[in-house]
Chain A
Amino acid sequence: MRPFGYAAPATVDQAVGLLEAEGSEALAGGTDLLSLLKDDVERVERLVALGGVTGLSGIELAGGMLRIGAMTTLQELRDHDDAIAALPALSVAIDGVASPQLRAMGTVGGDLLQRPRCWYYRRGFGLLALAADGRSMVTAGDNRYHAIFPEGEARFVNPSSLAPLLVAVGAEAVVRGPAGERRQPVEALYRAPEVDGERENTLAPGELLVGVEANVEGSRSAVYEVRQRRALDWPLMAAAVSLTGSGARTERARIVLGHAAPVPHVATAAGDLLAGQELTPETVAAAADAAVEGARPMSGNRYKVQLARTAVRRALGRAAGMEI
């Protein structure tokens, strides 16, 4: 690693002040950032360590609202019986994260803001991976794990394990910055960069993800991941669903795909299709088809369209408590 400075703020305001300076980067669990620094993919002047910042860790459940501090480790969240009881699908999303070591080190904020796994990005070719002649290395090269819903030149996938579920349940991200606190839907944390050098998250310099909040009452949620390996890897495809409504009829359904697009991909049409419907093998299959409508796979990732369909079907089945 190249040399860098290190600061350990005690308060969110101190952290924000430090992060405003160019070249400063927040250090949470470090499991992703350190690899990027070792590989010289990212460079920093100073790391701002968040481990000692008051008010960033912890879990609160009150009146159906689940609040999770950004520096809460994945293992702490997994071990929090009340949080898991309130949103059982969290356990599936967390158990899918690589390994016990990474769950002990990795944080909720770090999972949400980890950098893409795209191997062109990881080799230093940038998030858009454009060759000198402007052509995409991804479309011309090995794109087996890339997006089936690319946005512009962005063809990497969002790697977060928690984001699809949090987006499905309508969670909000709490962000603190120089101008104070703002709240936005978790999906608004993400964007597809339009030019290389742009980040894939929407945090401005000096802004810090403080935590996430979700109303977890009155809905049934599920996550289904399709994986090549059970440990030390990311899923090939993931679907998260959240259903409201009593009895057999679904009032509202929200379906989100992970590892499908540069951002958590909200399958709006698929969700709309289920509104007011009873979940049956037929309606579920129709929703799964709708979820992949408009997919634009590349030379090597056509299989992911079927994985997405299957993931949606099985996640809906899990949420509804039926074998599909």
Chain B
Amino acid sequence: MTDDAKRSGLSRRSFLRSGAAGALSGGLAAGLLTEEAAGAAADTDAPKTVGPGPVEIELEVNGVTRRLAVEPRVTLLDGLRDRLDVTGPKRVCDRGTCGACTVLEEGRPIYACSRLMIESAGRSVTTVEGLGSPDAMHDVQQAFVENDAQQCGYCTPGFVVATAALLARHPAPSEQEIEAGLGGNLCRCGTYKGIRAVVEGAGGGGVSGG
């Protein structure tokens, strides 16, 4: 991931960078914390400060490039729901402790409530709507239906996305991996048994990730 790529989120070039997270740890290691890095960073021209008024950004939501003007203080969650009418991610705790707002950013599960939308500029975001539709459900969505893994349904979109992320990482997760992988989502109705059945079904080849 280059810094050009990072900055271009604000200069409105849209691109998909799937797999960028994986590349980060290895790819940027060269020059880390070294004199070269310090030397390369010699330019002190301050970049422009934008906001607090609306700022034009572009991001990809469920495969579609979306362009809008948001204030820097708008979270990804509020921007998706209130501005783009993508209401799958739910606003429950709004403090990164319940998981109902879970979305994928560049394939990684994140809390949309705890990210500024402007930080997602130039990136791809996938919500529960992007995984599949009622007519063409994602395997995980189908498995939630079949295993009766929802009750009031408010936590479900976040759980579906977190489950898809877990299975993408661990196609046949162990007990421990399931607990760690879904530990960031809460269900107050207590549908955990059904959700566990969804994930364990994956081990039998019923559900695949991604």
Residues of A within 8 A of B (CB): 1-14, 17-18, 27, 29-31, 34-35, 37-38, 46-47, 49, 51-55, 57-60, 67, 69, 72-73, 75-77, 79-80, 95, 98-102, 104-105, 174, 176, 181, 210-211, 213, 230-232
Q: Which residues in A have their C-beta under 8 angstroms from that of B102?
A: 101
A9 to chain B, nearest CB (A): 5
Q: Which residues in A have their C-beta under 8 angstroms from that of B52?
A: 3-5
CA–CA, A265 and B106, complex, Å? 38
- Beta-carbon nearest neighbor of B75 in chain A: A34
In the complex, the answer to whether A8 meets B10 with C-beta atoms within 8 Å is yes
Q: Which residues in B have their C-beta under 8 angstroms from that of A79?
A: 22, 25
Which of A53, A54, A59, A210 is close to B25, meaning CB atoms less than 8 Å apart? Answer: A59
Which of A9, A38, A75, A99 is close to B94, meaning CB atoms less than 8 Å apart? Answer: A38
B186 CB within 8 Å of chain A:
yes
Whether A232 touches B114, Cβ cut-off 8 Å, given contacts A3-B51, A53-B3, A67-B32, is no
- Beta-carbon nearest neighbor of A79 in chain B: B25
B86 CB within 8 Å of chain A:
no
Listed A/B pairs (27) with beta-carbon separation below 8 Å: A2-B73, A4-B72, A5-B49, A5-B52, A6-B72, A8-B7, A8-B10, A14-B43, A14-B44, A14-B45, A46-B49, A49-B119, A53-B3, A55-B28, A55-B38, A58-B25, A58-B28, A59-B29, A69-B33, A72-B25, A76-B24, A95-B180, A100-B184, A101-B111, A231-B179, A231-B180, A232-B184
In the complex, the answer to whether A102 meets B96 with C-beta atoms within 8 Å is yes
Chain B positions 22 through 39: 1 when the CB is less than 8 Å from some CB of chain A, otherwise 0: 101101111111000110
Q: Which residues in B have their C-beta under 8 angstroms from that of A72?
A: 24-25
Interface size on B, residues (CB 8 A): 62
In the complex, the answer to whether A38 meets B116 with C-beta atoms within 8 Å is no
- Beta-carbon nearest neighbor of B73 in chain A: A1
In the complex, the answer to whether B33 meets A5 with C-beta atoms within 8 Å is no
B118 CB within 8 Å of chain A:
yes
Which of B21, B30, B115 is close to A76, meaning CB atoms less than 8 Å apart? Answer: B21
In the complex, the answer to whether A100 meets B21 with C-beta atoms within 8 Å is no
CA–CA, A98 and B185, complex, Å? 10
CA–CA, A5 and B52, complex, Å? 4
Q: Which residues in B have their C-beta under 8 angstroms from that of A54?
A: 3, 37, 40-41
Apart from A11-B41, A31-B111, A101-B96, what are 9 other A-B pairs with CB-CB below 8 Å?
A14-B46, A51-B119, A54-B41, A57-B24, A59-B29, A73-B21, A100-B162, A211-B32, A213-B33
- Most chain B Cβ neighbours within 10 Å, of A3, A67, A100: A100
CA–CA, A10 and B49, complex, Å? 13
Contact residues, B167-193 vs A (CB, 8 A)? 179-181, 183-186
Residues of B within 8 A of A (CB): 3, 6-7, 10, 21-22, 24-25, 27-33, 37-38, 40-53, 55, 71-73, 75, 94-97, 99, 102, 108-111, 113-116, 118-119, 162, 165-166, 179-181, 183-186
Q: Which residues in B have their C-beta under 8 angstroms from that of A11?
A: 40-44
Whether A104 touches B109, Cβ cut-off 8 Å, given contacts A54-B3, A232-B97, is yes
- Most chain B Cβ neighbours within 10 Å, of A30, A52, A60, A231: A52
Q: Which residues in A have their C-beta under 8 angstroms from that of B33?
A: 55, 60, 67, 69, 174, 210-211, 213
In the complex, the answer to whether B6 meets A232 with C-beta atoms within 8 Å is no
Which of A17, A27, A80 is close to B46, meaning CB atoms less than 8 Å apart? Answer: A17
In the complex, the answer to whether B110 meets A104 with C-beta atoms within 8 Å is yes
CA–CA, A226 and B75, complex, Å? 33
In the complex, the answer to whether B114 meets A35 with C-beta atoms within 8 Å is yes
